Structure 1
Amino acid sequence: MATQADLFAPSLLVDALVAGVDEAGRGPLAGPVFAAAVILDPARPIAGLTDSKKLSAARREALATQIREQALAWAIAQADVPMIDELNILQATLIAMRQACQDLAQVPELILVDGNRLPTGLPCPARSIVGGDALEPAISAASILAKTARDAYCLALHAQYPQYAFDRHKGYGTALHLARLVQYGPCPAHRCSFAPVRRLLQAVPT
């Protein structure tokens, strides 16, 4: 009988139905955090999968299309700004990861999560892998889907609030973003619990 440790032995992972999980958007000052889960099809390998941050935007989009077309199952979930502000970004991220796993059309036999924390309530055994988005193809695929979904959200946010230039910084705390925050103040999409936004709100006279 296989033990819990044996579940992660390389010999038992070969034929297992493995889901990779990753997130995008933990660090930005605005918008939801996105998480994706992907079960790749061993019969239809996808070349070029790696950490989404190492890919150009055009290459990410091309790979995202391939993943959606060729994976056995995939799902994308998000935790919104009110949840982030209420719980904190880590807990919100873990909730989004769990939801992505639960939304998969197939139940995996093993879940591999990028990072060093695991969500609770997963449908099968799981392990965390630091730097997994560059090591495990299924996690790489999840990182690409999460990143492209969040980037698409930021482009839509830019159309709604063009003064903040979300199309350029994607919500991260760049010099440009911070300057626009000071100039215009936070918009409804900003995370009030994050220090740069919180300081601006505290500075507003009541």
Structure 2
Amino acid sequence: MKTYTITQIKDALAEIKNENDPVILQLQSDSRKGVQTLLNRWKSEKEKEREELERYRRMLVHENRLRRQGFEWICGIDEAGRGPLAGPVVAAAVILTEEAEIPGLDDSKKLSEAKRLQLFDRIHEDAKAIGVGIISAEDIDKYNIYEAVKKAMKQAVSELAFQPDFLLVDAMRINAPYPQESIIKGDANSISIAAASIIAKVTRDRLMVEYDQKYPEYGFAIHKGYGTKSHLDALKKCGPCPIHRQSFAPVQAARK
């Protein structure tokens, strides 16, 4: 039986997907500690992949139910930026095809920035259509944040290049000419809403990085407008800037 070097084993494991592969079966009887470390790491990675795929399939429950009812183009809708003291609220609408499979989709807040960026690109590759709605801080003050979120979501749907036939909305209902369903914690329970949450979050974060170039004294690139201690300290020192939400209490307090 051929004996592989550690380097050869590492390269081989990077390509192997099946636990019944002859190389895996051989490595299980290899007494070298380094080999067993590599093998255990490979098994752990495969187990995580299986768990992620199972979670992904569980998150298809709403989409599968609606497809059985005859709906094909199911659109997930979510927002980012409801709570910050500055910057816009951003909503996204995403239609995924039935064939799309993007393990890793989840509530954007649970994901690292690197993972969000990876999934952002993957969603753009696999989505049937993506729409984005952006409502400014000025309009948030004009309408209130709840109404601003609904406007952003409606705008996102209107930006879709392909017409949906059903909307899955994260914990809200919007005024739209399509049947819809509100899903509590939808970004953790529906792949379509999870995809929308990632598009909205990454889009908004990038806008806040751009605002940081214009208003560098506030640190928008770091906290994205949320009420962190450093942001509140900057508000007290510098007062509000044009992208602050003037109707929010901490911003009002900084104006006094």
Matches within 5 A, 1:43-58: 43-58=99-114
| TM-score for both structures, normalised by structure 1 | 0.90
- Structure 1 unaligned blocks of 5 or more: 1-7
User: Any conservation in 2 of the 1:19–1:138 contact (CA below 8 Å)?
Assistant: yes
Q: Partners of 2:237 and 2:95 in 1: how far apart? A: 44
1:61 equivalent to 2:117? Answer yes
Aligned in 2, Cα 1:82/1:102: closer, same or farther, shift over 3 Å? same
1:78-103 superposed Cα distances (whole Å, 9 cap, x missing partner): 11111100110000110010111111
User: Any conservation in 1 of the 2:133–2:156 contact (CA below 8 Å)?
Assistant: yes
| TM-score for both structures, normalised by structure 2 | 0.73
Aligned in 2, Cα 1:130/1:63: closer, same or farther, shift over 3 Å? same
Give the aligned length.
193
User: Any conservation in 2 of the 1:102–1:123 contact (CA below 8 Å)?
Assistant: no
Q: Percent identity?
A: 47
Kindly state the Cα deviation for residue 44 of structure 1 after the two structures are TM-superposed: 2.4
1:140 equivalent to 2:194? Answer yes
Matches within 5 A, 1:110-189: 110-115=166-171, 117-120=172-175, 122-189=176-243
Partner of 1:42: 98
3-state DSSP of counterpart to 1:72: strand
- Structure 2 unaligned blocks of 5 or more: 1-61
Kindly name which structure, 1 or 2, has the bigger radius of gyration based on alpha carbons. 2
Aligned in 2, Cα 1:124/1:38: closer, same or farther, shift over 3 Å? same
Partner of 2:250: 196
Q: Which has the higher helix share?
A: 2
Q: Which amino acid aligns with 1:119?
A: I
Q: CA RMSD in A?
A: 1.4
